[in-house]
Amino acid sequence: MVPISQLLEFAALSWPDRPAIIEKDGYMSYGELYAQTELLKAELLHLGLTKGQGLGVMGRNGSAFVAMMLAGMGCGAVVLPISHQLKAAEVNCLIKDTKLHAVIDDQSGVQPVDNELTMISFVRQDLRFAWLEPVKDGPVTPLSDAAFIRYTSGTTGSCKGVVLSHNSIIQRVDAASKALNLTPDDAVLWVLPMAFHFLVTVLVYLRSGASLIVCKDLLAQTIIHDANQHHATLLYASPMHFRLLAADLSAKQMPTLKYAISTSAGLPGNIAEAFAQRFNLQVTQAYGIIEIGLPLLDSLLGKEKNPQSVGFPATGFSVELLNDDNEPVAEGEVGRLAIRGSGMFDAYLKPWQTAEQVMVNGWFMTGDLALREVDGRIVICGREKTMINVSGNKAFPEEIEAVLDRHRAIEGSRVYGQVHPLMGEIVCAEVVLVKNIKLDVEDVLRFCRSQLSTYKVPQRLSQVEHIAQTQSGKLKRIWSS
């Protein structure tokens, strides 16, 4: 295995002139990215950044963000990626909760702190560095080999700071590299926020020598243009991106794309079908989770794809479906998804809990409910916490949302449970309508009745202007009330 500090060096020695990151202003080769990262690391060391200190890294997608992350880890610091789209209060909350020592950013968002700034030159821009005052003594975590902290999405509860060591990251990158099987001939179309997806995918792409094409915006025409201009071979995106592309009316194709992988949230079947028809390329899903990495994806060649599954366990991972007593469920039954394998997280930050304390008999309980198909593929049915219990029957919001989203008048939906004195819970739904369409409640319910069991049909349906999402693109769930 190649250590994190040497990962970029290995790529620079192997493919010095190969484009590492392609941006709107040009590209940076692996040789140049390594040289600039080493200069930045030297500057951070000169400023006094040392092993174990917490470093917030805030920036937009691009070479500067990658260099800041790798330079920070190269100094031995524990890096916390921060989205440049966060508001000042949100950034301040992250900094205080994590008890960081310092912050570095690319000036693309709010100024993280009001303390004295040191400007650091990076290629054609200046980065800002600031110490937090007062600078606290000691490491940011009790873990001696800590390298990375990222907060979970917080879709159904409070966010948790997930801590990963250098060794865990190395194992995770190694496992994901084998699963994705990329080469220096590949070019990855990048549309996801690096602040939420740096581990594990960005490091895998750098390790493999692939080029990372950073799209300047999320317009379908931009994504298609960049794919064709730079001969993209892989699109790794969220359902939102696939929906935008499927709706594009230009008729332009992306002929060099070999793979399209959806992640971060469940992919509705109608979007997968529409994308496949529009671009003549089937979408598959990958199951990524910050505590584990990339344990499930549909990567087996020669098998027919199933866009509704998240694929098979990757090499080095085991999957089990457990009941409430932590025993395996019968074949074909829905169970609680449990995973173990390479590169598992080391601890939760606050309150401090090691992975061993969190896991159940060596299994990490993902919080998802799933079933295993006959061929071994895993299909996600919903979240344990969001499952709606209607008179003893299990209704999964994700399944109902998939049906609602297929209605011609509905742009998006969110389903949740509401406490009911007789039935325990009932199904409720919020919908965002297509522009210039009026809500016809009975038509929507009639559509649902044609495709869902009676207990799954929403009892209450309301129109909203928008549906809130987390920073990583997942629906913000509503608790039963």
Which of 129, 25, 150, 160 lies closest to 80, judged by CA?
Answer: 150
pLDDT digits (tens, 9 = 90+) for 175-185: 999 999 999 99
Give the least confident one: 158-172, 244-258, 346-360: 158-172
Predicted local distance difference test score (pLDDT) of residue 264: 83
What is the percentage of the chain residues whose pLDDT exceeds 90? Answer: 75
- CATH placement of domain 4-140: 3.40.50.980
Q: Could you confirm whether domain 168-383 is CATH 3.60.150.10?
A: no
Would you say residue 431 has pLDDT above 90?
yes
pLDDT at 303 over 80: no
Query: pLDDT (tens digit, 9 = 90+) per residue, 91-135?
Result: 998 898 999 999 999 999 999 999 999 999 999 899 999 999 877
Question: Does position 154 have pLDDT exceeding 60, yes or no?
Answer: no
Ordered by start, the domain boundaries in the chain are 4-140, 168-383, 388-463
Among 240, 200, 203, CA closest to 223: 240
Q: How confident is the model at residue 474 (pLDDT cuts 50, 70, 90)?
A: confident
pLDDT tens for 193-213 read 999 899 889 999 999 999 999
Q: Do domains 4-140 and 168-383 have the same CATH topology?
A: yes
In three-state form (DSSP H/G/I as H, E/B as E, the rest C), the secondary structure along the chain is CCCHHHHHHHHHHHCCCCEEEEECCEEEEHHHHHHHHHHHHHHHHHCCCCCCCEEEEEECCCHHHHHHHHHHHHCCCEEEEEECCCCHHHHHHHHHHHCCCEEEECCCCCCCCCCCCEEEEECCEEEEEEECCCCCCCCCCCCCCEEEEEECCCCCCCCCEEEEEHHHHHHHHHHHHHHHCCCCCCEEEECCCHHHHHHHHHHHHHHHCCEEEECCCCCHHHHHHHHHHCCCCEEEECHHHHHHHHCCCCCCCCCCCCEEEECCCCCCHHHHHHHHHHHCCCEEEEEEECCCEEEEECCCCCCCCCCCCCCEECCCEEEEEECCCCCECCCCCCEEEEEEECCCCCEECCCCEEHHHHCECCEEEEEEEEEECCCCCEEEEEECCCCEEECCEEECHHHHHHHHCCCCCEEEEEEEEEEECCCEEEEEEEEEECCCCCCCHHHHHHHHHCCCCHHHCCCEEEECCCCCECCCCCECCCCCC
% the chain with pLDDT above 70? 96
Query: What pLDDT shows up at residue 468?
Result: 87
pLDDT exceeds cutoff 80 at 317: yes
Q: Report yes or no on whether pTM surpasses 0.95.
A: no
What band does 424 get if pLDDT is binned at 50, 70 and 90?
confident
Multiple choice CATH, 388-463, 3.40.50.300, 3.20.19.10, 3.30.300.30, 3.40.50.12170: 3.30.300.30
- Mean pLDDT to the nearest integer, 215-243: 95
